[in-house]
Structure 1
C-alpha cells in the first residue's frame, strides 16, 4: 500500500504538467492496449487456451515531453510502463520499459540517457519481420533473444543523411568491473541481470527499399557470453522492398556465445546432464533466416505470411516456423489481428511457439527420467511440433 500511495502523487503531478507548459513545451500521454486469446497445442501437458496481453504489440502507457531551448534544440524525456491488460499487473516495475532524458537537434542528432528498457537495439529487428512484433515471428526460433532490455544506457542517433541513419548504444555496468554488472541492476534479457552490453545499428531507406544491420552484445552479470539465447553476440541483417501493395521481407541473424557453460543456462552445473538431450552439448552458435511478405489488400486489411528456419550447433538440431496472419483496421487507432503458426523440430530440437520466457533452452521434464513428469514449460518435446493460434484487438491512445 505504501508503494501505491507514493506513486499516485507522482503520476498525478506528471499528468498535470501540460497545464503549466508554454506553447513551446509539451507533455503527451500515450498508450497501447493489446488483448487477445491464444491457443497452443502439443504442450507437455496438453493444449492451452489462454487470454493474453501483448501478443502483437506490448501493452503499455507512458508520457513523453519536450522543452524548446531555441535554435532547433530541444530537451526531451520519455517515461513508459508495460502492463498486462488481462490482470492490470505491471510488467517489470513502474517505467521499466523506458525512463530517459535527452537533447535533440535536427542538425547534429539525438542523445538520450537512462533506462532504454524495451528499446534496446535488437528490438528494431522487428521492422524486418512481416509479422512485426507478433509472438509468433522473428523472436520465436531464437527463444526471445530479440526481446532485449537495457539499463544505464547512453544512446546517440544521427540525423538521416541521404537515407542513412546510424544509432549506437552503450550500457554501463555501474560496477568496478568493466564487463560484469551488479546482479541487482537488472532486468536485462528476459528480465535477468546483465553485465556490459552495447551495439550499433545502420538503417538505409531509398525509394521502395529499406535495409537494416544491427550488431549488439549482451553479457551475463559475470561479464560472459555464456548463453547463446540470452548472453551473446548478435549480428542481424535484413530488409524490406515495396512492390505496389506488397512488401517483401527477409533477413539473417547469427548468435554467438563462445563461453557457453552449464552455469549460463541452468541454476547449477549438476542440473545440466539431466536437462540435455543425449548426444548434444551446449549450443555456442545459432543461425536464423526468414523470408515473407505483407499484402495490403485494402487500406484497412492486410495479410502476412512468412517462413523462418534456425539451426543450432553441437547437435541441437534445427527448426522451421510457418506463419500466416492478418490485420483489419476499424479506425486509425484500433485494429483486429490474428495469426496461425506451426513450428516443426528435428529430433534434438524442442523449440516452441513462445517468446523465450516459458520455453528457454533445455529439455522438458517429461523427457528427463531423473526429474519426473512435472513440467510448466509450453514447448513440445524433442522432435515434436506445435501449432498455435492467436486473435486479438489493439487500440492506441
Structure 2
C-alpha cells in the first residue's frame, strides 16, 4: 500500500529526530523538541451583518512544534539551529509563519544565522506591545500594519544578534531577493536596538522591504490590504518602511509599557483595477499594562489608537490568564474596535466587520511541551 504524504512527513521527522539525537550523543550536542497547542472558542459580531461563533486555533500564540539544538565548538563558540512549523489544531492546516535557521555564535561577538527569520521589529520593538507579549495574535494593531505580531518572516535572510553589553544589545537582518539582475527587487533589511537598566527598558527598530512578491524566491510574498475604501484598503503594496519605539517600566508585580510605530506603504495599486493609488501611512499609539495578580493569575489590558489616510481606529482589549500547571493554562479575553466613518473595523485574525464596530470574545486552553 502506498504511504500517504502525511505518513511520509511523519516518517521523515521521526528519522530526522533520531539522526539529530544520534549526532548529539557523538558530538556533545543538545537537541530539544518543543511546541505549543492553542485552541478555544470565539464569538465575533458584525461579520456580514451576522454574529460568528467559531473554533479557534492560536488566538494568542498560534500552535506549532519545533526542534532546536546547539553544538559546542570550543573556545566559547557554538553551532545552533532552529526548525519550527505552525499549524491549526482545528483543521490540521500547516502555516509557514515560524522561523528555521542555522548559524554560529560566540559568548562575546554575538550570533550570525541564515534562514527564514524574524526581523528587528519582532526582536526590539514588539516586546513593548501587548500583541508581542502576553496578548498575542488578536491584540495586533489594525491589519498588523507594523508587523508587531510577525505576520510575515523574512526568507533568504542573514541575521546578526549581539550579546548584551551592559544592558545594551542590537542586531540587524538582510533578506536577499535571490533574483539574477534584480538585487533590490523583493529584498528587505532591518535594524534594531534595546537598552535595559533596572526596571526600565527601551527599544527601537526599523524595517524596509521593497518589490514584495515581484519574485517567487525573494524576501516576502505579496501583500494585499483588504477592504472597500481605496484610500485605506483594497490595495496591493510593493514597498514598506516601518519604524517603532517603545519602553516599559516595572513596578512590583505591574509592568507599564508604551509603544509608537509608523508604517508607510508605497507603490500602491488598486487590488481590483491595478491602477496606481495613494500611499498608505498608518500610525499606531499604544499603552498597555500587565499585572501578576497571583503566581497563577495574570491580567493584561491595552488601548491602541491608529490613524492614517483620513481614517482612524480605537481598539481596547483585556485578557485574564490562569495557570493550571507550569505547562497548561486557560484564558479569557475580549477585544473591541471602532473605526471612523467609511473605514471597516477588522480585529486581527477575523473577517472585516460589516460596519464601524467589531467585538471579539474568546476563551481557550494552551499546552506547552
For normalisation by structure 2, the TM-score amounts to 0.86
Aligned counterpart, 1:188: none
Aligned counterpart, 2:295: 299
For residue 88 of structure 1, report the CA deviation from its aligned partner.
2.0
Unaligned runs of 5+ in 1: 181-194, 273-280, 359-377
Aligned counterpart, 2:214: 222
Q: What pairs with 1:1-397 in structure 2 (closer than 5 Å)? A: 3-16=5-18, 17-22=20-25, 24-92=28-96, 97-116=98-117, 119-124=118-123, 125-131=125-131, 132=133, 133-140=135-142, 142-143=144-145, 145-146=147-148, 147-176=151-180, 177-180=182-185, 195-219=186-210, 220-222=212-214, 231-262=239-270, 266-269=271-274, 282-313=278-309, 315=310, 317-355=311-349, 378-381=351-354, 384-397=356-369
Is the deviation greater in 122-131 or in 99-108?
122-131
Q: Answer whether contact 2:317 2:335 (CA < 8 A) is retained.
A: yes
Q: In structure 1, the residue corresponding to 2:91 is in which secondary structure?
A: coil
Q: 1:258 to 1:3 in 2, by over 3 A?
A: same
TM superposition outliers: structure 1 runs of 4+ over 3 Å: 1-6, 138-146, 222-231
For residue 283 of structure 1, report the CA deviation from its aligned partner.
4.6
Unaligned runs of 5+ in 2: 226-232
Deviations 1:203-229 (A, max 9, x none): 111111111111002221339999788
Q: Answer whether contact 1:259 1:284 (CA < 8 A) is retained.
A: no
Aligned counterpart, 1:364: none
Aligned equivalents of 1:135, 1:45: Cα separation in 2: 24
For residue 144 of structure 1, report the CA deviation from its aligned partner.
7.3
Aligned equivalents of 1:143, 1:206: Cα separation in 2: 30
Q: 1:50 to 1:108 in 2, by over 3 A?
A: same
For residue 295 of structure 1, report the CA deviation from its aligned partner.
1.0
Aligned equivalents of 2:273, 2:60: Cα separation in 1: 34
Q: Answer whether contact 1:321 1:342 (CA < 8 A) is retained.
A: yes
For residue 392 of structure 1, report the CA deviation from its aligned partner.
0.8
Q: Answer whether contact 2:33 2:65 (CA < 8 A) is retained.
A: yes
Is the deviation greater in 147-156 or in 128-137?
128-137
Aligned equivalents of 2:102, 2:122: Cα separation in 1: 20
Q: In structure 2, the residue corresponding to 1:136 is in which secondary structure?
A: helix
Q: 1:105 to 1:267 in 2, by over 3 A?
A: farther
Supply the RMSD in Å over aligned alpha carbons: 2.4
Q: In structure 2, the residue corresponding to 1:127 is in which secondary structure?
A: helix
